[in-house]
Structure formats: C-alpha cells, structure tokens
Structure 1
C-alpha cells in the first residue's frame, strides 16, 4: 500500500526541484523528505528521482507515478469535500492568496458580499503575486489562488488544479505628457489622460528604444510586458522597477520612462502627468481563481468561488477607467 503522504512528498519534489525547497513547502526537514522518498521508492520498487544539476528530476517511473499521484490527491480532495458537505456545511475558514490589484477589485468586494450571505465562512486574504499564489495552493498553504496567466504558469489542463476564469483586461501604454507619442496627430487641444478614440492606438513596436518602467522580474506582469516587446522585435530596457503600478505611473509622470500597465490597475491612480494610449493587438492580463483539483466541490469553497465569479462579472460590466 502506497502512503499518500509520500505521494505528496513526490509531488512537492517534482514542483520545487530541490529537497530543501520541497521540505520548506511541506513544513518538514530535508532529512524527513529524503526519508519519505526512500520509503516510497522501496514501496514501488524503483528509483523515482535522479540528479539534475543542483536539483532533482523525476525518472520515467517517477513521471508515471506522478500522473497517478495527481489523480489520487484530487480524489482525496473530493472525498474531503463530500465529507465536509455532509458533516459541517458552510462554516469554517478559507485562505485566499491574490495579487494586490485583484484584492481591491474582486477579492475584497467578494469577501464583503460573502459575509452577508454566508456568515459562517471566515476568509483570510494574503497578498501574493500570481506565480507565488499558485505554488501556495499546490503546497496546501492556501485554499484559493487568484492569479494571472504568464509564461511558465501551469497549463489550463494541468491535472493538479481546477480553474475558474474571472476577468481579462488589456495593457495600456503609459506615456509622460511631454513624450513624442503623447500628442495625437491632427489634434491641437490638450490630449486627455485617457484614450477617447481609436486614432490614439499605438503599437508596442512604437516604443522600441525607449527607457521602460515596470514590475520586477518574477512578477507575471513583467513577463507579459517583456514577451509583448519581444514579439514586437526588441528587448525592453527596464531602468526603473516597482510592483506598485501607482509608483510606475508616478515615475512616468516624472518623465523617467514609458510603461505598460493593466487597464484596471489605473483606477483611482493620479493620471494628471501622463497620457494613456491603448495598444493595438497588445497583451491582456487574464485573471482566474484556482484550487486544488477536486476541492472545487468543497462546501466552504463553492460559495466563495461563486461570489468571486459574480463580482468579476460586475467588474466586466462596469465602465473602463
């Protein structure tokens, strides 16, 4: 009989690629993780990991077992959901990890609405970037991640996760008001901060050679911006970095460079020193909620996920900033 605790250890090793990182995710010592792996290899009669530089990778047998592991752990999540539905109903604690903009736009309003509908559900919110929140869900540190699509994110058909689409928003170009591209051809009056017609649309390629302001590497939005520039034929030079988009806009207002910012992140931001221009065929930030596969049926998560969807639907229907 294979111990499911050892299967969780195998998946953590596959996700984190080192014994030390897997141990931290599982709240175990590296020695305990190694012992779990040795015991699992003894149970299946095959080596499951091999060295890969400074880390480890799964052997062929390890990959086979990992596929079954994802199915087994998803089934256990469903079993826990069914038992919880039978015994406790909707009363308990739920942990949500989300990036800051989505906390303000979706998560916080959903928490407020849920408090009125399901007062027995206590929601704890943690600020975490999209790449961090997905790892936190897989490691069991939180129940729900509100994350964004980015290069390297788990695929939509990843059998470890169930996804619930929330909303999608374009990135807009943020230009200092004195920038050469801030003036609209044929317009003599002052350009308003926000775009008002299609003639103001620019392409990412128009910003080749500019100094850029953007999130730090590792932030999913940094990856989206860099990829859009690569597709336009250049590598952006990031001279200034901040994960706070209000700080990014402030730097652009000071003439420090240009930026691309998700449209909804511009809400309630001082735009007096910049001009916002839409991007032709530009990137989008796709936001979704994710839970461990099988957990979407848990009675504590169903009301929260439904409320997140309802809040996101209202957001999509509201006017753009």
Structure 2
C-alpha cells in the first residue's frame, strides 16, 4: 500500500523544484524529505531519486508516478468535497488569493457579495503574487486564485492546476491633466515616443508588456522614473514627470490630476482563475467564480 504522505513529498519536490525547497515548504529537513521519497521507492521497487552533480533529481520512474499522484490528489479532493458537502449550497471557509490589483478590484468586492448572498460561507482573502498563489493552491491553503498569466508559471495544460481565462485586461495611457494628447480619442503610442515615461521596475511582469507595446509602436521609451506601485506611478504622472501605461484594473484616484486614455491596438495582459483540478466542482468556488464574472464587464470600461 502506497503511503500518500510520501507521495505528497514527491509531488512537492516536483512543484518546488528541489528537495531543499520542498522540505522547507513541508517543514522537513532535506534529509528527511529525501528519506521519505527513497522509502516510497523501496515500497514500489523503483528508484525515484538519482544523483545530479552534488544534488539529486527525480528519475523517469518518478515522473511517471507523478502523473498518477496528481490524479490521486484530484480524486481525493473530489471525495472530500462530496463528504463535506451540504447539497449545492456554498458553506464553510473559502480561501481566495490574488495579486494586489486583483484583490482591490475583484476579490474584495466578490468576497463582500459572497457574504451577502451566502451567509454560511466565510471568504478569506490573501494577497500574493502569482508564484505564491500556485504554492498556496498546491499546499491546500487556497481554493481559488486570480493570477496574471506569466511564461514562467505552470503551463496551462498542467495536470495539477485548472487555469481558465477570466479577462484580457487592456492597458491605458495615463497622462498629466494638461497633456497635449487629451481629446484625441484612441491614442497611438507613437505620439508618446518623445515623452518621459514612468515604467515598472524589472521585478514587475507589467514592464515586459509595456516595453513590448512601445516596441510594437516603433520606439523604446525614455524611462525617466520607475515605480512598481500603481499609486506611485499615477502620482509621478500627476506631477508632470512623464506618461505611463497602466492596466485597466488599477484604480486612479478621483482627485488625481491625470487623464486615462485608451490606446489604439489595446496592449493587454491575460488574467486567469486557478484552482486545483476538480476544485471548480466545489459549490463555494463556483459561487466565487460567478461573482468574479459579474464584476468583469463594469471593470473594463474606461
């Protein structure tokens, strides 16, 4: 009989990338995590770890086992859901996670609506970047996450996570209140080629989208200032220090001396909802997804 706890250690090594990282997440020592996997290998009669330089890696047999392990985990989640269900009425604790802007504009209002519609449901919201959202889901510390699609995150066809599009979010050009482009309608970014720009720091995925949009318009922006927080970006624009591309979900304070302008070609980023496989059958998750879908149309208007 396979010990499911040891199987979870194997899955953690695959998810976190190394035995050390998996051990840290599971509150094991690296040697204890390795021992759990070796014992699982002895139970199955196959080697699951092999040397790679001064480290170890999962063997091809371990990779094959992982496909079955993810299926087992998904089936176990469905079984737990069935045993704890109260018909199709959302109830109990629902843990939601998302990046900062999604918490402000999506998860906070969705959680409030869930409390009003489903008194037996208790939403709990956690702010986390995309990588941490996947970790929370994997560790069983979240049931639903809202993330920005990124090339270094788990592939969309991952057997471990169910990732579905929520919206394609446009970026708008934000300019000072006295800028020459106000009143032009759709703005062609080529008209900003000589402006100073405020661009997020290298740690922010939005920087890639912004530089790509400017590149598609035929220029490299003159980066005068960098700011990762959108409120900081808007403050810099309001003081006449440059222009910026800001995602539609980022709220602009009503008293900010800036104007938001839609761009020709509408540069965009993809926002996804993510659950563990089988998680969308959970009535509480389904209710949360319904609330998120209701919110999206109003948020996409300038």
Q: TM-score range by the shorter chain?
A: 0.7 to 0.9
Matched with 1:187 is none
Matched with 1:308 is 292
Q: 2:180 aligns with which of 170, 180, 183?
A: 183
1:197 aligns with 2:185: yes
Alignment check: 8 A CA contact 2:189 2:217 kept: no
Structure 1: any 5+ residue segments left out of the alignment?
185-190
| CA–CA distance in structure 2, aligned partners of residues 62 and 70 of structure 1 | 12
Equivalent pairs, count: 302
Structure 2: any 5+ residue segments left out of the alignment?
none
Shift of 1:126: 0.9
Alignment check: 8 A CA contact 2:199 2:210 kept: no
C-alpha change, 1:137 and 1:183, in structure 2 (3 Å) is same
Shift of 1:236: 6.5
Alignment check: 8 A CA contact 2:185 2:261 kept: no
Q: 2:234 aligns with which of 249, 254, 276?
A: 249
Question: What is the root-mean-square deviation of aligned Cα atoms in Å?
Answer: 3.2
1:297 aligns with 2:277: no
| CA–CA distance in structure 1, aligned partners of residues 216 and 144 of structure 2 | 32
1:160 aligns with 2:164: no
Shift of 1:23: 2.0
Alignment check: 8 A CA contact 2:233 2:244 kept: yes
Normalised by the length of structure 2, the TM-score is 0.84
1:13 aligns with 2:16: no
Matched with 1:259 is 244
C-alpha change, 1:271 and 1:69, in structure 2 (3 Å) is same
C-alpha change, 1:253 and 1:67, in structure 2 (3 Å) is same
Alignment check: 8 A CA contact 2:196 2:223 kept: no
| CA–CA distance in structure 2, aligned partners of residues 110 and 21 of structure 1 | 33
C-alpha change, 1:116 and 1:266, in structure 2 (3 Å) is closer
Higher relative contact order (CA 8 A, sep 6+): 1
Alignment check: 8 A CA contact 2:194 2:222 kept: no
| CA–CA distance in structure 2, aligned partners of residues 177 and 88 of structure 1 | 51
Shift of 1:135: 2.3
User: Deviation per CA, 1:232-264, whole angstroms, max 9, x where unpaired?
Assistant: 677778664433201112123345454321022
| Secondary structure of 1:265's aligned partner | coil
